[in-house]
A and B are shown apart, each in its own frame.
Chain A
Amino acid sequence: GAGVSQTPSNKVTEKGKYVELRCDPISGHTALYWYRQSLGQGPEFLIYFQGTGAADDSGLPNDRFFAVRPEGSVSTLKIQRTERGDSAVYLCASSFGEYNEQFFGPGTRLTVL
């Protein structure tokens, strides 16, 4: 079946602009996660949804970052007033069931100039 998909695959923006990153999880997966990965490092947790609600948003670095999942499927990560330090690969993952095996999408590479 189809895996996790993310769009766009690459996004180049200017400092101060607003961006939206989209994630389409595996069908039927109730849990959805956003992580951020900088070069040479492991993914860092941003936010986790169970259904439509954010169950844990403690990883969001500041209030410029916001994510939604209005219908419990597709999620959008929104970044306002982007900064150069926001440049990274943003990964989305989804899971189902008690074992929490998370399946990752291909990521969106965000570059803020």
Chain B
Amino acid sequence: ELKVEQNPLFLSMQEGKNYTIYCNYSTTSDRLYWYRQDPGKSLESLFVLLSNGAVKQEGRLMASLDTKARLSTLHITAAVHDLSATYFCAVDLSQTSGSRLTFGEGTQLTVNP
């Protein structure tokens, strides 16, 4: 059974600081996704990582994937309050065009002024 673990689960940081969220998974996969969820809202797709060594960046967020270590990271640079949200990683075991995603528990990020 695939297990996806994120840490930390709760993160409080000051504006302007850097931090990394980690996503570990238990079964070999080279398809990993990061989502953002604001309170009471649905999930917004942030990054799609499809191969070992993949790195994607958007604004202050950068995601990477190491399939050998079964690890993905979401790095936050110079955090701002607008980044406060819950971030989920999700793993897809299939190599085909559609299949279930297995999500981590989420990391609740709070950026304080």
B13 at the interface (CB under 8 A from A): no
B45 at the interface (CB under 8 A from A): yes
> What mask results when residues 73 to 113 of chain B are scored 1 for a CB within 8 Å of chain A, else 0?
00000000000000010101010111111111110000000
Interface size class of A (residues with CB under 8 A): 20 to 34
Count residues of chain B with CB under 8 A from any CB of chain A. 26
Q: Which residues of B contact A45 (CB under 8 A)?
A: 100-102
A59 at the interface (CB under 8 A from B): yes
Number of residue pairs A-B, CB distance < 8 angstroms? 69
Asked if B45 and A103 sit within 8 Å, CB to CB, the answer is: yes
**CB-CB under 8 A for A43 and B103, given A99-B48, A105-B42:** yes
- Near A by CB (< 8 A), chain B positions 24-61 give 31, 33, 35, 41-45, 48, 50
Q: Which among A33, A97, A104 is the interface contact of B100 at CB below 8 angstroms?
A: A33
Asked if B99 and A98 sit within 8 Å, CB to CB, the answer is: no
The chain B residues found within 8 Å of chain A, CB to CB, are 4, 31, 33, 35, 41-45, 48, 50, 88, 90, 92, 94, 96-106
The chain A residues found within 8 Å of chain B, CB to CB, are 30-31, 33, 35, 40-45, 48, 50, 55-56, 59, 91, 93, 95, 97-107
